């Protein structure tokens, strides 16, 4: 999968995606899971200018196919 520039294309309205920020807002981690609203709403300031934190995104992979599950509770 390739990173998609958030200035070029946004994810679908309710689509959960992997987000990338070039800013150290999460310490050493530059990615998180979010959605279209996360890209639009999360900003920081550089000088007096607001700047979007997330610059790129990519779709999340499909869920894995599980062949067996451990019981969550004692039955």
How do residues 21-66 score in pLDDT, each as one tens digit? Answer: 998 888 899 999 999 999 999 998 888 888 999 999 999 999 888 8
CA distance 8 to 56: 9
Q: Does position 68 have pLDDT exceeding 90, yes or no?
A: no
What confidence tier does 74 reach under pLDDT thresholds 50, 70, 90? low
SS3 52: strand
Give residue 47's pLDDT. 87
Give residue 69's pLDDT. 77
Structural domain boundaries in the chain: 4-59
The stretch 63-74 carries a mean pLDDT of 78
What are the residues facing 49 on neighbouring strands?
A: 46
Residue with tokens 């607001």, as numbered in its chain: 50
Distances in whole angstroms, Cα of residue 28 to Cα of each of 3, 36, 46, 57: 19, 23, 20, 18
């Amino acid at each position: 999968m390739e990173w998609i520039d958030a200035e070029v294309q946004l994810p679908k309205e309710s689509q959960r995606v992997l987000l990338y920020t070039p800013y150290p807002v999460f310490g050493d981690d530059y990615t998180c899971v979010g959605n279209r609203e996360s890209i639009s709403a999360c900003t920081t300031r550089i000088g007096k200018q607001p700047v979007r934190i997330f610059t790129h995104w990519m779709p999340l992979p499909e869920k894995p196919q599980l062949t067996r599950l451990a019981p969550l509770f004692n039955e």
